[in-house]
Amino acid sequence: MATDSLDELSNAVLGPSGRLGEVIADAPRLTHSVHALESDRRALLAEVTSADRHSEEQLSQRLTAYRQRTADVLYQAYGVDLGGET
């Protein structure tokens, strides 16, 4: 994988997302998940800046997994009806 592609992927996956900040306000039960994602995001950003050609494939897989976990949290916050609303 070319470094430019890795940079593009990391920007798409790890770029700022105001949506996760809204999750805490809208679905406080997911606060721990959002904080865990933020911790993972910081670790991945550090890895992206120090990635060499041998670790790019592994890093790409981790970025993809992070993006899926983020999508899962957003789905839990907004796509699941827990009931109780009138």
Q: What is the block-wise mean pLDDT of the chain (86 residues), using blocks of 10 residues?
A: 60 65 85 88 79 74 88 86 60
Residues contacting residue 60 through CB under 8 Å, at least 6 positions apart: 1, 6, 9
Tokens of 1: 């994988």
- pLDDT value, residue 85: 57
Q: Are 77 and 30 in contact (CB under 8 A)?
A: yes
Q: Is the overall model pTM greater than 0.85, yes or no?
A: no
Burial class (CB in 10 A: 0-12, 13-18, 19+), 48: buried
- pLDDT value, residue 29: 92
- pLDDT value, residue 1: 44
